[in-house]
Chains A and B, each alone.
Chain A
């Protein structure tokens, strides 16, 4: 019998299975781990942005109460610890590899940003470790810091790394400059724009934490860490930093309270607690406080760009030319080099049929916290650039901004569509998501609302953004050719237990995404097992065979596809067992949601009959098939996936103060097949909230000495519920053509599509004030200055 009631399969808005334990306060986070004999670590961090370490005197600290170990960069160097590796190598225009300076786990000879780890102090309690850290006497000789990219690139700037000339990590490009320049020369109209993409602090709710446990009898290390990808951490840390066989290291990433990218990377503290544990022969716990999170979690965005469209007389885009400077911070974080190149410049076609594109990207070292992928990673920067330039162009061409987009969209029948910047989009329907967005947002009724707002003394504006992004990362061979030092497949194991319940082992990691629910839905849908009997195991290298983790909206597209492949293997084996049990030939066995049937007959076996037979093989084709019902699959995607859509923001500006209030937000996204509409809605809303934060509030600011001015929640403005408009979320589906689920991804679209929609709305609200462009965040004083001056802010 095929009974799955109520329907829990693909498309059901199933409540999240994991929420019961989270909402009752019984999640199991790293800081909840207390290992027998555990001691605590405190990291002494540099108060200077740039300084030579003349000496680090730990004698007093070592003698402090409770202290069991104090270690400096000299110690980790002497012990032969490697530096933090970078996972991606970009090549310069001339073909030479990027500059890749060492990134020691503890600063050695020099500190390069405020927060750079200087010493590891381990004591019985956290307070004792901190007391001892305060007793360390560091003799710093301060150097001139390069806080901004402009400062770092200025001739004569103090080099941040020896041997890195001009503080330039790489100077990369894509496209044919001569062809693009020629297109510009022949253009009817050129529209240019200078813009920045503001630096952000990720601020996951749970700060990073790590517990390292060395077993001196077995020589095994266990690391409990707040990671989005425990296998990757194990690989990077064991191979590059600790120089251990991977088999000696287990990495566990239990419940993790948000990541947004910031918990992808291998951080020094992970290696330090492991190594430190071996030194002091006790488990070592480190938990960041919020202040440390601000100055040690990789930041996001931070681009400065010049962009130009060349148009023909009809408003068709002839070419795009972009020059971008991307801040890497003081060291290369794990993914950093690929963000402004292969996650950004390759997206510069957007959803437009731009025939030729040339982009050059300079990646720059500065005396700031390393910058890496943050929700959307490169794609929000590309989208913001394109969608701001689109609006400015529409105005300057005298063409309606919606019409200009329509005219340039890649047509629905043009897929697969090869862009001029390497990517090939498999599917999409930009006209339809646009039309749905305009309708939902009542775009046509806007002027009435604007007039009504004006009567209340408010300036109302509406803004649109149409976007495409590339996620579901990524085909290994492709990314390998682009400089990735890893494959980007995913792994799934389906373990059908004797009584028919299922355990799934997945290399994806859930830190808010709801995998325990959506992955179970795949099993319910395909194998007909109720979700209550499906358990998802993730985040433990000792349990899950392998995995590349969760980022780049890859969990369903790549991780889910691996599960589908593994389930195909289960079904194939199940058919052979069923054929044996029902004395039919394998070719005649059909399978549908839990039931094996001899085609055209009423002879059936349930999945549980098969699993019992597989584990109790009394009547079993033992010569032909192994007992057991467990299969593992690695899935390597054939292409990226390409979600796209239309975001529309509506704002009201208080002319007295300049405060921008979000009054409406509409998102119509094509995320491919929707597994759980409720979770998709939540993911989009969360992403939009972050996008609104970036557009209106968030600004990571350093002073000229490299001190992080917005270094706490007192000064770094995160959006609250009251700052987010009601977000209406709808989907219009075109299926991904190359993965078994047809899914594209929904984790990042909200943060990618929304910032330009918001800024376009703000600029629209200010249409009578002569504003061509304003940089994010659109804070009240900035807007007020525009209103007051009525002045033009933009360059040119």
Chain B
């Protein structure tokens, strides 16, 4: 770790002001991605703006036909929320399979979604449920948010303050874990609801993406068999020591099938 200054603002406005004043400052939520990067000296922010003191960033509430989760809400809170379990059980389930207990007690939805790790879980929920990202200055549709590996539509100094998930009719999630990191090798979140039929694939590619052919198939026939026949193109998928692009492409179909089964 290199030296940095540390701020702990108590409002989003103060945090945004601190970020605006220092282009090399970085927000920190749970720190479970940022701190390892700092310890490895892969990142050298001049200051850390700790968001954990901002009460307005925490919490889960139902707003009409949506569940709105504050950016600083930890995975463990989502996993155990009665509100989430009742309205969007797939989201609560997803939160239970992120990392391990320690990770879930620190990691936050804001940090995860803003980071957009290709192997992270939450981006599949955001895209697959057609959520809206709420930031310190605007609302961004999920389809416009994830731009590429570790890249989002967030601008310099813009904070993710929450995510609004429309309540689906049904939704399911399945993933294959990377045996080492336990992040996602390939995963699928399928849903049917106010945002239509959506299939979001995480882990397999450089960025979470929608699987159009599967969406079309499920729209006309919501069944595991409908997606089982659809092959994912391996072109452009991730390949590493844990699996080739072809293997991941195959997993996409398997996980989509399982996600549909899990959706019920």
Q: CB within 8 Å of B: which residues of A?
A: 127, 130-131, 134, 289, 291, 656-657, 659, 697, 699, 701, 709-710, 713-718, 720, 779-781, 784-785, 788
Contact = CB atoms under 8 A, between A and B. Distances in A.
Nearest to A656: B254
A404 B215 CA distance: 55
A443 B250 CA distance: 34
B180 A716 contact: yes
Contact of B251 (A657, A716, A717): A657
A779 B41 CA distance: 32
A734 to B, nearest CB: 39
A478 to B, nearest CB: 41
B181 A714 contact: yes
A699 B180 CA distance: 10
B155 interface: no
A715 B176 contact: no
B241 A657 contact: no
Contact of B179 (A709, A780, A788): A780
B241 A715 contact: yes
Contacts of A134: 41
A715 B181 contact: yes
A131 B251 CA distance: 44
B44 to A, nearest CB: 11
**Which of A131, A710, A713, A714 neighbours the largest number of chain B CB atoms within 10 Å of its CB?**
A714
Contact of A701 (B181, B241, B247, B254): B241
Interface residues of B, number: 20
Nearest to B251: A657
B180 A127 contact: no
Given A127-B3, A697-B179, A788-B250, 16 more contacts: A291-B40, A657-B176, A657-B251, A699-B241, A709-B241, A713-B181, A715-B240, A716-B180, A717-B179, A717-B180, A718-B180, A779-B179, A781-B243, A781-B244, A781-B247, A784-B247
Nearest to B39: A289
B242 interface: yes
B180 A715 contact: yes
Contacts of B250: 784, 788
B1 A657 contact: no
Dominant secondary structure of chain B at its interface with chain A? loop
Interface of B: 1-3, 39-41, 176, 179-182, 240-244, 247, 250-251, 254
B188 to A, nearest CB: 13
A656 B181 CA distance: 21
22 contacts: A127-B1, A127-B2, A291-B40, A656-B254, A657-B251, A710-B180, A710-B241, A713-B180, A713-B181, A714-B180, A714-B181, A715-B180, A715-B181, A715-B242, A717-B180, A718-B180, A720-B182, A780-B179, A781-B242, A781-B243, A781-B244, A785-B247
Contacts of A718: 180
A127 B242 CA distance: 34
Nearest to B258: A656
B36 to A, nearest CB: 9
Contacts of B182: 720
Q: Which of B179, B240, B254 lies at the interface centre, i.e. has the most chain A CB atoms within 10 A of its CB? A: B179
B122 to A, nearest CB: 18
A562 B2 CA distance: 51
Contacts of B181: 713-715
A699 B240 CA distance: 13
Contacts of B179: 697, 717, 779-780
Contacts of B1: 127
A282 to B, nearest CB: 23
Contacts of A657: 176, 251, 254
B243 A780 contact: yes
Contacts of B254: 656-657
A620 to B, nearest CB: 61
Contacts of A785: 247
Nearest to A709: B241
A131 B1 CA distance: 9
A720 B133 CA distance: 35
B197 to A, nearest CB: 23
Contacts of B241: 699, 701, 709-710, 715
Nearest to B40: A291
Contacts of A659: 176
A136 B18 CA distance: 35
A713 B39 CA distance: 15
A609 B39 CA distance: 60
B176 A780 contact: yes
Contacts of B251: 657
Contacts of A779: 179, 242
B228 to A, nearest CB: 10
Nearest to B119: A714
A129 B238 CA distance: 37
A551 to B, nearest CB: 27
Contacts of B41: 130, 134
A583 B197 CA distance: 98
Which of A127, A131, A717, A788: most chain B CB closer than 10 A? A717
Contacts of A788: 250
A12 to B, nearest CB: 34
Contacts of A784: 247, 250
A653 to B, nearest CB: 14
Nearest to B181: A714
A762 to B, nearest CB: 15
A656 B176 CA distance: 11
A291 B3 CA distance: 21
Contacts of A656: 254
Nearest to A710: B241
A225 B153 CA distance: 50
Contacts of A714: 180-181
Among B1, B180, B243, chain A packs the most CB atoms within 10 A around the CB of B180
A164 to B, nearest CB: 30
Nearest to A716: B180
Contacts of A699: 241
A656 B242 CA distance: 16
Contacts of A701: 241
A717 B254 CA distance: 22
The 6 closest A-B pairs by CB, nearest first: A717-B180, A717-B179, A714-B181, A656-B254, A781-B247, A781-B243
Contacts of A715: 180-181, 240-242
A291 B42 CA distance: 13
B192 to A, nearest CB: 23
A606 to B, nearest CB: 51
Contacts of A710: 180, 241
A529 B241 CA distance: 56
A373 B41 CA distance: 32
Contacts of A697: 179-180
Contacts of A780: 176, 179, 243
A716 B178 CA distance: 10
A779 B3 CA distance: 41
A697 B2 CA distance: 34
A288 to B, nearest CB: 13
A289 B1 CA distance: 12
A779 B244 CA distance: 12
B255 to A, nearest CB: 9
A95 to B, nearest CB: 42
B157 to A, nearest CB: 28
Contacts of B244: 781
Contacts of A130: 41
A713 B181 CA distance: 6
Contacts of B247: 781, 784-785
A785 B181 CA distance: 22
Contacts of A716: 180
A131 B254 CA distance: 48
Nearest to A713: B180
B93 to A, nearest CB: 17
A403 to B, nearest CB: 35
A784 B39 CA distance: 37
A720 B243 CA distance: 20
Nearest to A788: B250
Nearest to B182: A720
